Amino acid sequence: MQLVESGQIEKTGAKPKLPVKIDGINEENLYVYRIPLDLLFYNDKNGRIATGMQRLAMTMDPVSDRIDPSYNDQIAELIEADNKAALKQTQASIKKNGQKLFGYVLDDGRIIDGNRRFTALRNLQKETGKTYYYEAVILPFTFDAQTDRIKIKKLEIAIQMGIEERQSYNPVDLALDVYNTTSGENKMMSIEDYASDANMKIKEAKQILDAAIYMRKFLEFIGADQNNFSIIKDSKTYSLFVEMARKLESGKIFGDDLDSEVEKNETIRTYFALILYEIKVGATSNQSTLAYKMRDYVKKIVDSDKNEDFNDDMSDHVDDIEDTLNDQTINNLTDLSNAMKEVNDQFDQVGEKFDRQLRESNKQETAEALVSDVSDAVSLLKELEQNGGLKTNLTYSQFDRDQIQKLQYSMRDLAILAKKLFEKYGEELDES
């Protein structure tokens, strides 16, 4: 604000209206300013930016172009790669009509909202040589104070998680943001508060948090940084963790006793190995087929009496895969793909056993379905016999002669077929 007071940053004349009420801020004292671009820098704690920084293993301190443009340059590349079409559209609009929507920045120049607009303005300034300014509200907060961080986050969520904005918010970036905001040592708010500020149902927010927790466990399993969600993003496996969390945390498959907890943990490890197998064979490019296959895994193996044996059968392969990956340095999907080549034989076994178990489960499911259908037919016949040939809610006065005759002939055919099938099943039993 010193630059404002000294006249180096001027007001635009616009008066902002905050999207959410923030303690300690009086809207009457807020203004939109025209800020030189070299005084600003991207917020490294932003969910979208944090995911990209993990991909590049960036450890640079966030600073403005006036100090060192390298930081902003690298983040700008991430923003462009994330959605080139959107950036191109924003840039064309600003070039033609100027900046129409103001952003939000902190007193030190950290951008809280408006990364794409800032990127477009930097590009235009480089391309044309003209001087551009970023129009934004300067908030009287510092990122160093925890109480201020909570207020900043509350505003950021309200702006970026509005109904229109959420459609363009990558679900992996969102999951990382939900986790970092509501969990861990630097927790800023409860999941209920996050849901409220983000216009989100609490159930949805909790499902996203559960998915994030499973993603962190997966990253730990492969020996990567637990916050390196870029691996999840690039491998296109987010939906698998959502489904995993939804099923395994439902309370319907595993109980609270020690044996159930052990089986659940073994199932999680097997699930991770299966996800890695699908990444390795390139199956994640077909999201619908992959989702169907993994739902089959939960339905026909995890939620069955075959699960414990399947986990035991997979255990050695899972251990070898985990040990091998943890001996490698994994910062991105390329690193992971290269590391998995070291255990090709183990993944071949994982895929073969998985497919075989699904086939056997499908066969068993089909056999049980036939047994169930025949049993239902017998139950119907027993009901008819007990009620004089009719269902309990019917009388013969409701039938004409032709209908009764059809019933009689059907029973004759049924008796003949039943005798033949009885003999056929007997032959099969003799041979088995």
CB 126 within 8 A of CB 163: no
Give the sheet arrangement for strand 32-36, strand by strand.
10-11, 32-36, 133-139, 103-106, 111-113
Q: Which of 362, 377, 392 is the last residue of a domain?
A: 377
| Assigned domain for 196 exists | no
| Assigned domain for 72 exists | yes
Contacts 24+ apart (CB under 8 A), 291-298: 291/239, 291/240, 291/243, 293/358, 294/240, 294/243, 294/244, 295/243, 296/358, 296/361, 297/271, 297/354, 297/358, 298/243, 298/247, 298/253
Q: Please list the pLDDT of the chain residue by residue as tens digits (432 residues).
A: 566 666 678 888 888 887 777 777 777 778 899 999 999 999 887 777 777 776 666 667 889 999 999 999 999 998 888 889 989 999 999 999 999 889 999 989 999 989 999 999 999 999 999 999 999 999 888 877 778 888 888 888 888 776 445 546 789 988 988 998 999 778 889 999 999 888 889 999 999 999 999 999 999 999 999 989 989 999 999 999 999 998 888 888 888 889 889 999 999 999 999 999 999 988 766 777 777 788 889 888 998 889 999 999 999 999 999 999 999 999 999 999 999 999 999 999 999 999 888 888 777 666 777 787 788 788 888 888 888 888 877 888 888 898 889 899 989 999 999 999 898 888 888 887
pLDDT of residue 75: 92
Decide: residue 363, CB within 10 A, 0-12 exposed, 13-18 middle, 19+ buried: exposed
Give the structural domain span for 294: 219-377
pTM for the full predicted model: 0.74
Same domain, 396 and 345: no
Same domain, 28 and 41: yes
- Which tokens hold the place of 49? 């930016």
- Distance between CA 215 and CA 33 in Å, rounded? 41
Same domain, 352 and 407: no
Token look-up 């209206």 returns: 17
Same domain, 354 and 408: no
**Rg of the Cα atoms in the chain:** 31
| Assigned domain for 128 exists | yes
Same domain, 311 and 388: no
| Assigned domain for 337 exists | yes
CB 41 within 8 A of CB 63: yes
Same domain, 94 and 141: yes
Compute how many other C-beta atoms are within 10 angstroms of the C-beta atom of residue 79.
20
Total number of domains constituting the chain: 3
Same domain, 343 and 404: no
Same domain, 370 and 255: yes
Same domain, 353 and 395: no
Report the DSSP pairing between strands 111-113 and 103-106: antiparallel
Same domain, 83 and 114: yes
Contacts 24+ apart (CB under 8 A), 143-150: 143/45, 143/106, 143/108, 143/110, 146/188, 149/188, 150/188, 150/189
